[in-house]
Amino acid sequence: MTRDAGPGGPPRRRRRTAALALASALLALTACGGPAGSAAPSPTVPAAVTSSGPPDPGPWRLVLDDGFDGTELDSALWATCYDWNKDGCTISSNDESQWYLPGQVSVRDGELTLTAERRRTRGSDGETYPWRSGMISTGRDQWYGEPRRTFTYGYFEASIRIPAEAGMFPAFWMMPESRFTPPEVDIMEFLDSTTRVNMYVHWREPDGERARERGEYGPSDFSERFHVFGLLWERDALVWYVDGVERFRVTEPERIPDVPMEVMVNLAVGVPKEPPADVDRARMRVDWVRVWQQ
């Protein structure tokens, strides 16, 4: 997701625990497929696999672990908007069609659900949005607050089932604590497809120009069931995983962020194109989000 945040947030004008041994064993039996961009199908991950955990050995410790038990979102861990929250939020520079509201975020039966609805919604930025939707962030409740949690390096992983409906833009990603992008890391996002996952890193060149590199993996119908999306972020590498299998790697030093970052999961709408007229609702389901650090 290309984002352009800065002081005051985006412009007002809208322009378009883990059973790790069992998991590892099962993944070893089921993993298959080629490198990033391969046309091989995704490996089958049995329901018993709850996490692959960090792919490299080491003194890892689990520093964030939310299985969304209970009946409401843990407000100590999560905000329901970006850091420029004011009675909801959006990214006005990203051509998105939704206004995020906390009422679109729910927790039940061990799952987080982000619900997008076709419902005209007046934003506090003065614009009217055709959709409302939900998101979670480890960031702030408002621009001048303190973020709940930020991370520099680690292994980031979430079990997510994306919606099947067209016109949705689900993402699991990270934004700097400074709120200025780039850098930015998109662990997963789906653009105009439910069968190919995109993986991005964004950075700024020495001359100030923005740049990005993309990995892609598929085809597989990611809306049929939960899949585990992971990122290993180290000083010398970014490595993306889908269902415990490496799918994309970046090692150029200038492309690897070294600043504290917030973690986000969101269901945006209308990128790169609007949902068809017969789509009025969609849900993104999240089984868990976990972060390990050394």
Residues in contact with 237: Cβ distance below 8 Å, sequence separation at least 6, in sequence order: 249, 250, 251, 256
Closest CA to 231 of 203, 261, 257, 199: 199
Q: Which of 184, 205, 209, 213 is catalytic?
A: 184
CA distances from 134 to 10, 106, 113 (A): 18, 9, 8
Residue type, 66: D
146 is catalytic: no
117 is catalytic: no
- Report how far residue 64's alpha carbon sits from residue 156's, in angstroms, rounded to the nearest whole number: 9
Scan for tokens 């150029």, then name that residue: 252
- Report how far residue 236's alpha carbon sits from residue 256's, in angstroms, rounded to the nearest whole number: 7
Across the chain, how many H-helices and E-strands are there? 1, 16
Q: Which of 117, 157, 177, 189 is catalytic?
A: 189
Tell me the chain's radius of gyration from C-alpha atoms.
18
CB 24 within 8 A of CB 53: yes
Residue 48 CB burial class (10 angstroms; 0-12, 13-18, ≥19): exposed
- Give catalytic residue positions: 184, 189
